[in-house]
Amino acid sequence: MIKSRFVVPATLAAMLLCGATLAQEPVIDINASVHPNLAAAQRHVVEANRAVELAQKDNKWDMHGHAEKARQLLVEVNNELKAAAETANRRK
């Protein structure tokens, strides 16, 4: 009885965390004809995210959260690249 009191909330928390992570993926949304270097960097971020995801699957998601943290940081990098492109657009 006591175990079930802890198992259910832990399972729900894990499902929410996975759902939040799946909802945020790096995307390619920088115009390569305007910002070729930033667009190339963004493509590399998307590729890196896919590679980390494959590593997670190969290791049965047992990487003590480090791979997931790396993927979250890749989302941040992607957002910063987009912000850099938008800032450059405003300066022109």
More confident residue, 57 or 7: 57
Question: Is the separation of the CB atoms in 67 and 52 below 8 Å?
Answer: yes
Range of the domain at 40: 2-91
Q: Considering the entire predicted model, what is its pTM?
A: 0.72
Domain count for the chain, please give it: 1
Structure tokens at 66: 């480090």
Question: Is the separation of the CB atoms in 55 and 67 below 8 Å?
Answer: yes
Q: Find the DSSP H helices in 24-91.
A: 36-58, 66-91
Q: What are the tens digits of pLDDT across the range 34-81?
A: 999 999 999 999 999 999 999 999 998 889 999 999 999 999 999 999
Query: Among 10-14, 58-62, 85-89, which range has the highest average pLDDT?
Result: 85-89
